[in-house]
């Protein structure tokens, strides 16, 4: 049983201003696995003031000093990678191969990328007789989700540190254990007091206080579009910068070519990663109507090979993260059936033999129309919708017919054709044949958010631009 009953503020572990706790469930067992302290506006205020004091010195630190800190974190991160993986497995049910692999590795990747970017990042530029300087924006409120807990903490904290900002982190109360280990890493690495602060809590108690606090200069939020709207509303009266990485309903246009079987196979398998709990998951697969039956057969075969709840199988998927998420998915599965979509595999209920744990049957719907609820709402589970198209113009039209625009995918053997289609998809990132790059910007169009994370693009979100005119003689 884990007990994390203190917050990390001003370089020390401190008690909450007013004691309050929350039990945390293990989604694999449905049993309480730990308890955490839950903060309030008073705790946020203490943490923000610590960050404000630390900003005076940390904002003036040199590139070399920040590199030293990041490299010290890197050393501690490597030491605690096993503990991080155990925490992710326990808090969100990720199988060991996923927790120790992509979940923890993504955090390490963002750290390495931040170090590499910082070494050569240009913080100033002379334009004529004017000096343009990029300065740290100030105290940052960082609000992170439960689905990729370390990844989302890492891609906010490391750019903030590298650019000279100070911060208060509010991780998801659904998956707080990895944030605790991450904070212990920060402490062991000797990050100066007040630069990084941690307060556990829920949205109403801590998220609102953080996003509305007058001494917070910027809020970076990852989560649902609904919650992102509330963060923006809370931040508006103090005119702070808000960056948001929100929901998605990403299309995957499968081209009609010789790679069709491989493209469908890859699309189904990618959708099942992390039990479908990824905001950029390729949840709408678009295939030629003439090959819909072929796509169904391929998808069914792929799903038959997906094992659920077997921690010894590297391809297995775990439960979804909470009872609330499980119940939401079940409702949407039933809605898809009621609306007339074809159940190719899966469906409602738990997988056979798994009566305990928030396990969802890996599900594929076919013959889906884009006006169905399952094609429009983010399900956030191992559920794929297959839609048909007559030609590529219609495929692009369907792909863009969504309020979201976080990601898109194009799959096929003809690279020139894939490139042409990718240019027409309205999304912040488009992956051809599921390409991946930590140095690429990550963020969305439309109601998928604003701003960009990852690599040098993430640095820019934590910087203000100052022009000093007359810096050089005319």
Residues identified as active-site: 245, 279
Q: Which tokens in the block code for residue 443?
A: 């963020």
Helix (H) or strand (E) holding 135: strand 130-136
Which residues, 6+ apart, have CB-to-CB distance to 74 below 8 Å? 108, 111, 112, 115
Place of tokens 């033999």: 353
* Cα–Cα distance measured from residue 202 to residue 227, given in angstroms and rounded to the nearest whole number: 12
Neighbours of 271 (CB within 10 A): 28
CB atoms near residue 69 (< 10 Å): 21
Q: Other C-beta atoms within 10 Å of 221: how many?
A: 29
- Give the C-alpha separation, 157 to 154, whole Å: 5
149 in Cβ contact with 178 (< 8 Å): yes
In sequence order, what are the residues at sequence separation of 6 or more whose Cβ sits closer than 8 angstroms to the Cβ of residue 303?
268, 272, 344, 345, 346, 362, 363, 364
3-state SS, residue 142:
strand
Q: Coil, helix or strand for 176? A: coil
Half-sphere exposure of 130 (CA within 13 A, CB side): 8
Count of Cβ atoms closer than 10 Å to residue 367 Cβ: 18
Q: What kind and span of H or E run contains 468? A: strand 463-468
Tell me which residue of 245, 307, 240, 237 sits closest to 275, measured CA to CA.
307
State the burial class of residue 239 (Cβ atoms within 10 Å of its Cβ: 0-12, 13-18, 19+).
Answer: exposed
Contact criterion met (CB below 8 Å) for 295 and 285: yes
Contact by Cβ (8 Å): 202, 20: no
Residue 200 in contact with residue 39, Cβ under 8 Å?
yes
Q: Are strands 445-446 and 139-143 parallel, antiparallel or unpaired?
A: unpaired
Please give the Cα distance from 105 to 98 (Å, whole number): 9
Structure tokens at 371: 């006006």
């Amino acid at each position: 049983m884990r007990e994390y009953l203190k917050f990390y503020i001003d370089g020390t572990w401190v008690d909450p201003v007013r004691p309050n706790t929350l039990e945390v469930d293990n989604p694999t067992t449905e049993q309480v696995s730990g308890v955490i302290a839950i903060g309030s506006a008073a705790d946020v205020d203490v943490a923000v003031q610590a960050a404000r004091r630390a900003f005076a010195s940390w904002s003036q630190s040199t590139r070399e000093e920040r590199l030293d800190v990041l490299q010290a974190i890197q050393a501690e991160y490597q030491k605690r990678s096993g503990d991080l993986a155990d925490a992710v497995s326990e808090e969100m049910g990720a199988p060991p191969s996923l927790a120790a692999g992509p979940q923890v590795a993504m955090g390490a990747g963002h750290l390495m990328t931040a170090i590499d970017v910082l070494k050569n990042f240009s913080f100033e530029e002379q334009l004529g007789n004017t000096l343009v300087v990029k300065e740290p924006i100030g105290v940052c409120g960082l609000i992170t989700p439960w689905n990729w807990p370390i990844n989302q903490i890492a891609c906010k904290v490391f750019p903030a540190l590298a650019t000279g900002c100070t911060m208060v982190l509010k991780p998801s109360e659904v998956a707080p254990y990895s944030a605790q280990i991450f904070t212990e890493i920060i402490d062991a690495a000797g990050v100066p007091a007040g630069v990084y602060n941690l307060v556990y809590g829920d949205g109403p108690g801590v998220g609102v206080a953080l996003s509305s606090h007058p001494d917070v200069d910027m809020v970076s939020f990852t989560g649902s579009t609904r919650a992102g709207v509330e963060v923006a509303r809370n931040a508006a009266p103090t005119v702070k910068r808000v960056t948001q990485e929100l929901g998605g309903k990403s299309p995957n246009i499968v081209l009609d070519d010789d790679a069709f079987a491989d493209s469908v196979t890859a699309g189904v398998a990618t959708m099942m990663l992390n039990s479908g709990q990824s905001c950029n998951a390729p949840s709408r697969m678009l295939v030629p109507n003439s090959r819909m039956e072929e796509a169904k057969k391929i998808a069914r075969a792929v799903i038959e090979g997906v094992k659920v709840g077997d921690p010894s199988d590297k391809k297995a998927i775990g439960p979804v993260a909470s009872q609330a998420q499980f119940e939401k998915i079940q409702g949407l599965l039933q809605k898809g059936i009621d609306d007339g979509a074809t159940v190719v595999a899966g469906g409602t209920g738990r997988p056979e033999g798994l009566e305990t744990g928030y396990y969802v049957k890996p599900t594929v719907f076919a013959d889906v129309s884009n006006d169905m609820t399952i094609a429009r709402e983010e399900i956030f589970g191992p559920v794929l919708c297959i839609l048909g198209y007559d030609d590529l113009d219609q495929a692009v039209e369907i792909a863009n017919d969504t309020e979201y625009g976080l990601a898109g995918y194009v799959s096929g053997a003809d690279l020139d054709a894939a490139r042409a289609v990718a240019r027409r998809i309205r999304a912040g990132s488009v992956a051809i044949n599921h390409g991946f790059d930590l140095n690429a910007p990550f963020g969305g169009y439309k109601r998928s958010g604003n701003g960009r994370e990852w690599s040098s693009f993430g640095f820019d979100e934590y910087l203000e631009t100052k022009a000093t005119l007359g810096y050089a003689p005319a």
